[in-house]
Structure 1
Amino acid sequence: MRSRVLSASCVHRSPTVPTELTLAQQIDLQISTNGPMSLATYMGLCLTHPTKGYYKGSDPLGAKGDFITAPEISQMFGELIGFHLVNLWQQMDEPKSFNLVELGPGRGTLMADILRVACRAPGFRDALKLKLFETNPALTAQQRNRLESYEPQWLENFEQFDDGPVLIVANEFFDALPIRQFVRKDDGWHERLVGHSDGKRVFGLSPTPIPATSMPDVIANAENESVFEVCFAASEVMSRLAKIVGTQGGSILAIDYGYAQTQTGETLQGVRNHAFADVLENPGETDLSAHVDFGILAAVAREVGLAVEPLATQGEFLTRLGIAERAKALTGANPGSADDIRVAYERLTADDQMGKIFKAFCAHSPGLVPPGFVS
């Protein structure tokens, strides 16, 4: 992706915009009025605008949506995470009250599969306080239909947890948080901005360089034209959650595509109707995401005293939890679905599908031994 150098700074006050305009018109008006905006601002508007953002609209999941997540592929994914969580609850001496939290619960499929398994453990169902963090009204309605019997509470912030340990699950949550991008030039790093050229939205660069010394040491010697992505929102979310877990006990399980250590590389992508799409076209109608820097999240968690497991691929994590055995059992009980079960198993675990590019991350109270990881 090539970038033009733009003449205006990225720091501007947002104008008052008529709400009857489309999101694309609102973004264009803001750029025309205030100049280029940061990529993080653009992504935030596209995904979470109060009325026109992507995650404020209809259900984006499934064959009729834009993408399919692991829980929608097979019940095995959620069932194994259910075992993972029950094991942690048992290691904590089966507290009589604990918070079970999901960030971005989608249709509620993952949590329904988790609880179908987890609630078989005596005392687990009575002890859990189910908390869901969701911004999409259409998905909230589906979560309510699937999970109503567990009396869920929908969170507006991360200060609404009850007393007791906190077990947090975040599947494909961190990848959707807004990122900023910086491009290396001879005179330093320049932030990539979204601006206008010839009446169209284009990427460009802030004319003001950021010294290389202000960037992480690991990318200090990056070559010209290298792209560095940083997600301050992910660090902030992890910091807040880690502090709560550090105080109340528990764990944070995050599964997403990403990388183990901070590095350069451009991963921002747009997906629409199950195909890659231009991130600058159809704002509010295209899913935008970027790979997660798990190295940063691990450092943030360790700062508040949590232990962090070595990052596992999704295939490794599910295999250690017994997905092969679970697939065999499901096939035995449903021989007519053998081909579907095999395809789902391969899709979740194979290196050339979701098995390698997706990673499993776990930060937790010292002393716990989370299943699925090798310390």
Structure 2
Amino acid sequence: MTSALLPLLTRRIALSGPISVASFMAEALGHPEHGYYITRDPLGSAGDFTTAPEISQMFGEMVGVWLADCWLRLGSPDPVTLVELGPGRGTLMADALRATHRVPAFHAALRLALVETSPTLRARQAAILGDYSPQWHDSLADVPAGPMLLVANEFFDALPIRQFVRGPRGWAERKVGLDESGDLCFMLEPAPVAAALHPVFADPRIPAGAVAELCPAGIGIAREIGQRLAEAPGAALLVDYGYAGPAIGDTLQALRAHRMVPVLDDPGLADLTAHVDFTALAQAAQQRGADAHPGPGRTIDQGDLLRALGIEARAAALSRQASPQQAADIANALARLTEPGQMGRLFKTIALTSPGFGPPAGFAPHP
């Protein structure tokens, strides 16, 4: 399959000049006709990557436990909008809702809001979540105001980033242009970069060739979450692979058929992702009035959060009713989700809450 988006991007650059990495990502992932997320279901063995909810029902069940506990601590607001950013196939939400159906009055209070732009994935979500009468939205800005519970799993890593490279005369923005053969290539924009854009830009110790990344779209969404949580009761759980910044390093990557491929090859046919700066997201939400947990410059490993929420007990309960092969599959899934050498440490989490809520489940400081 050849990229239908490639000639469009090539023509745009030829006419108007190099574009930012963020613009390239936005087109490759979200072009209304040829964008990666617009045209396909990217998940599972037949797709390009697998997320935690697709590995085991236990992941979504633990998220459900977390959401229900937050709702109870908020005083059981009715109604409350349950928001998922980038719901994929709807697997996480389906497992979370199944796990919480016995929480008194919880489901009756919920108004399910799914922020999803892909028609293909909206159809998959409707098939699995139709009984909960979900409402779809193109952005968080379209979701009605009021008490809110929010979850975002592997959402922020797919938002467009800008990249900057340290040169002998300072920082320059990396752009996507055309080489002498007319093929896409990376190049540097010679215009100077304001030090205020990123903490590392003002650090003279950063070596030449170092790469810094910014995610303006992610910062904007984190600010919006923070504003909503400051104005109405609520809590948000963010899970992704990333780090507690600021940091340097080129984390942009492309995945196709579960393998890494060159970033600029075949735009629209591969997933593009970058590691998430959780400190930047937390600070953006705090600036709008929300509280961030576990605190400035810190995250909780996914494995630690899942264990705190009871995933090991859930795995044991499932195994007692399972065949030997099923029990082995459960053990393998548990290890994949929680072990440090697998997703347990690579994936990080933070929580955002209304002011004064206190640490949510799994985020309490260690004694």
Question: How far 1:211 sits from its partner (Å)?
Answer: 5.1
Question: How far 1:338 sits from its partner (Å)?
Answer: 0.8
Deviates more, 1:199-208 or 1:141-150: 199-208
Q: Per-residue CA shift, 1:119-171, capped at 9, x if unaligned?
A: 21010111000000111111110100111110000013334434541000000
Partners in 2 of 1:86 and 1:176 — Cα distance? 27
| 1:290 matches 2:278 | no
Deviates more, 1:197-206 or 1:48-57: 197-206
Gaps of 5+ in 2: none
Q: Are the equivalent residues in 2 in contact too, given 1:98–1:163 (CA < 8 A)?
A: no
Partners in 1 of 2:126 and 2:108 — Cα distance? 19
Correspondence for 1:72: 54
| 1:108 matches 2:101 | no
Q: Are the equivalent residues in 2 in contact too, given 1:173–1:256 (CA < 8 A)?
A: yes
Instruction: Look up the SS of the partner of 2:121 in the other structure.
Output: helix
Partners in 1 of 2:309 and 2:162 — Cα distance? 35
| 1:374 matches 2:364 | yes
Partners in 1 of 2:131 and 2:35 — Cα distance? 30
Partners in 1 of 2:191 and 2:229 — Cα distance? 40
Partners in 1 of 2:234 and 2:183 — Cα distance? 48
Which runs of structure 1 show a deviation greater than 3 angstroms over 4 or more consecutive aligned residues? 159-164, 211-215
Q: TM-score, normalized by length of structure 1? A: 0.92
Deviates more, 1:204-213 or 1:241-250: 204-213
Aligned-residue RMSD, C-alpha: 1.4
Q: Identity percentage over the alignment?
A: 46
Look up the equivalent residue of 2:307 and give its one-letter code: T
Correspondence for 1:13: none
**Which of residues 127, 139, 142 in structure 2 aligns to 1:157?**
139
Question: How far 1:45 sits from its partner (Å)?
Answer: 0.3
Correspondence for 2:112: 130
Q: Are the equivalent residues in 1 in contact too, given 2:195–2:201 (CA < 8 A)?
A: no
Partners in 2 of 1:214 and 1:102 — Cα distance? 29
Partners in 2 of 1:272 and 1:109 — Cα distance? 22
Partners in 2 of 1:140 and 1:214 — Cα distance? 36
Instruction: Look up the SS of the partner of 2:344 in the other structure.
Output: helix
Q: Residues 230-309 of structure 1: matches in 2 within 5 Å?
A: 230-309=214-293
Q: TM-score, normalized by length of structure 2? A: 0.94
Question: How far 1:374 sits from its partner (Å)?
Answer: 2.4
Partners in 2 of 1:109 and 1:120 — Cα distance? 19
**Which of residues 320, 327, 330 in structure 1 aligns to 2:318?**
330
Question: How far 1:214 sits from its partner (Å)?
Answer: 5.4
Deviates more, 1:277-286 or 1:215-224: 215-224
**Which of residues 19, 24, 28 in structure 2 aligns to 1:42?**
24
Partners in 2 of 1:52 and 1:156 — Cα distance? 17
Correspondence for 2:189: 206
Gaps of 5+ in 1: 1-20
Q: Are the equivalent residues in 2 in contact too, given 1:95–1:164 (CA < 8 A)?
A: no
Instruction: Look up the SS of the partner of 1:208 in the other structure.
Output: coil
Correspondence for 1:354: 343
Q: Per-residue CA shift, 1:212-256, capped at 9, x if unaligned?
A: 565415761311110000000000011112111211110111100
Q: Are the equivalent residues in 1 in contact too, given 2:166–2:208 (CA < 8 A)?
A: yes
Look up the equivalent residue of 1:35 and give its one-letter code: G
**Which of residues 170, 185, 200 in structure 2 aligns to 1:188?**
170
